[in-house]
Amino acid sequence: MACHSPTFPASQKRAFGVSRIRLAGGTPNSARRCENAISGGVVKVNKLITVLVGFFVLMTTGAALAQQAPKTPNILKGSPMGAVKFDHTSHLKVAPKCETCHHASKPEKPLKSPQEACTDCHTHPATPPVTTSVQGAFHNPTATAGLCIDCHKRENGAGKAAPTKCTECHQKANG
Ligand code: HEC
Ligand code: HEC
Ligand code: HEC
Ligand code: HEC
């Protein structure tokens, strides 16, 4: 059965884009109509490829726009005991997931970017509506527990040498 055979069901003609060919002209069952049907298909595939390529480009640019972990250490200032130097590069080996430290957006004060600086929201003293101070964001008043110290203790138990004493993190030399 030829594609332009009068017995070809209407639904299938539509599926192959044959109904469009009628508009493109040519006498019924002519070779020209078959060619049109084929080139119509090629145009459709090209369109599909264009859409797919466009989507791919969008996805890769989206990834490039996403925040990267800083390559140079972040200096967290505030404590009179001295600033704390935090290095992403050494930490991403033990904590590869950003969410380990950068918590999800909270309704009280939504994030402006996925890894916004903690100190934008956690201040000394705490700035409403946020209730957790900068110290509270990192450790308890005696620095026996908290995001950084809990992991350091655990890792030291496994033979690492991560700082747990005040002056190992807070150093005047850091600024
Ligand atoms: C072990 C904890 C930890 C992990 C894991 C971590 N970060 Fe961070 N990140 C921090 C701390 C602490 C800061 C400093 C925040 C400040 O200055 O208030 C920071 C700061 C940043 C900043 C700078 C924010 C600014 O505006 O100054 C970016 C960007 C960032 N992190 C991205 C990432 C990405 C991407 C990942 C995952 C690949 C990641 N971080 C994983 C702890 C972490
Ligand atoms: C856009 C603002 C914002 C940023 C940026 C932010 N936080 Fe928070 N954080 C909050 C809010 C809101 C809460 C909810 C409790 C409150 O009001 O303090 C919270 C709570 C916390 C708590 C208390 C435990 C909990 O989950 O309720 C810790 C610890 C904490 N944040 C640590 C951090 C650290 C570490 C960073 C940076 C890596 C950070 N936060 C970045 C707004 C923020
Ligand atoms: C998931 C575990 C983990 C978390 C969370 C973590 N650390 Fe560490 N940190 C380590 C380990 C392990 C080391 C030891 C590095 C080594 O031996 O390679 C370390 C080392 C350090 C050092 C020594 C210098 C260096 O970079 O190696 C500092 C300073 C430090 N961490 C600060 C922090 C601060 C500040 C936080 C919280 C914002 C934090 N860490 C959160 C695991 C962690
Ligand atoms: C693993 C690293 C680490 C250790 C160990 C540590 N701190 Fe901190 N501490 C931080 C970070 C990070 C901050 C947030 C940055 C800042 O405020 O300086 C902070 C904040 C503070 C603040 C709040 C400063 C302010 O601006 O309000 C005080 C006070 C403080 N620490 C005291 C201590 C004391 C006392 C000890 C020892 C008993 C200690 N810290 C041990 C990492 C550490």
What domains appear along the chain, each with residue ranges and CATH number? Answer: 10-65 (no CATH), 74-174 (3.90.10.10)
Per-residue pLDDT, 44: 54
The answer to whether 22 touches 32, Cβ cutoff 8 Å, is no
| Number of other residues whose CB lies within 10 A of the CB of residue 170 | 19
What pLDDT digit, counting tens, does each position of 144-173 carry?
999 999 999 999 999 999 999 999 999 999
User: Which atom of ligand 3 approaches the CA of 169 most closely?
Assistant: 29
What pLDDT digit, counting tens, does each position of 57-110 carry?
444 444 444 579 999 999 999 999 999 999 999 999 999 999 999 999 999 999
- Cis-peptide, bond into residue 9, ω within 30° of zero: no
Whether the pLDDT of residue 25 is over 90: the answer is no
CA of 73 to the centre of ligand 1 (A): 10
CA of 137 to the centre of ligand 2 (A): 6
- φ, ψ of residue 83 to 5 degrees: the values are -75, 160
> What secondary structure does DSSP assign to 55-70, as a single string?
HHHHHHHHHHHSPPPP
